C-alpha cells in the first residue's frame, strides 16, 4: 500500500484496542460522574469476534471534507490494485 502512495492505511491490530478495552467502557465513572461503579469490567476474550475483527481489519483514516474526495478515491484505487494483484505480491 505504501508503494502505491496509500501511506495512511493502518495495519490490523495497530490502533489502540477493541472498543471494550477503551477507558469509556473500563472506567465510565471518570467520564460520566454518577455512573454506577458496580458495572462489569470487560476483559480480553469477552468479545472474541470483535477482537478477531480488530486484529484482522485494515483501517483507513476518516475523510469528511469535499476536498478529500480525490484522496479517498486514490486510496480505493490503490486497494483495488493490491487486491487484484495480491497473489503476485506474496
Give me the chain's average pLDDT, please. 82
Burial 31-55 (b: 16+ CB within 10 A, else e): eeeeeeeeeeeeeeeebeeebeebe
pTM: 0.54
- Kindly list the distances between the CA atom of residue 37 and the CA atoms of 3, 65, 73, in Å, as whole numbers in the listed order: 49, 40, 46
φ, ψ dihedrals at 62, nearest 5°? -100, 120
Task: Reply yes or no on whether the pLDDT at 81 is more than 90.
Answer: yes
Q: Is 59 helix (H, G, I), strand (E, B) or coil?
A: strand
Amino acid at each position: 500500500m505504501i508503494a502505491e502512495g496509500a501511506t495512511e492505511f493502518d495495519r490490523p491490530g495497530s490502533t489502540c484496542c477493541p472498543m471494550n478495552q477503551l477507558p469509556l467502557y473500563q472506567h465510565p465513572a471518570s467520564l460520566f460522574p454518577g455512573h454506577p461503579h458496580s458495572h462489569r469490567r470487560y476483559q480480553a476474550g469477552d468479545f472474541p469476534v470483535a477482537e478477531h475483527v480488530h486484529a484482522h481489519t485494515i483501517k483507513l483514516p476518516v475523510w469528511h471534507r469535499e476536498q478529500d474526495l480525490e484522496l479517498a478515491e486514490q486510496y480505493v484505487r490503490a486497494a483495488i490494485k493490491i487486491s487484484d494483484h495480491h497473489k503476485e505480491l506474496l
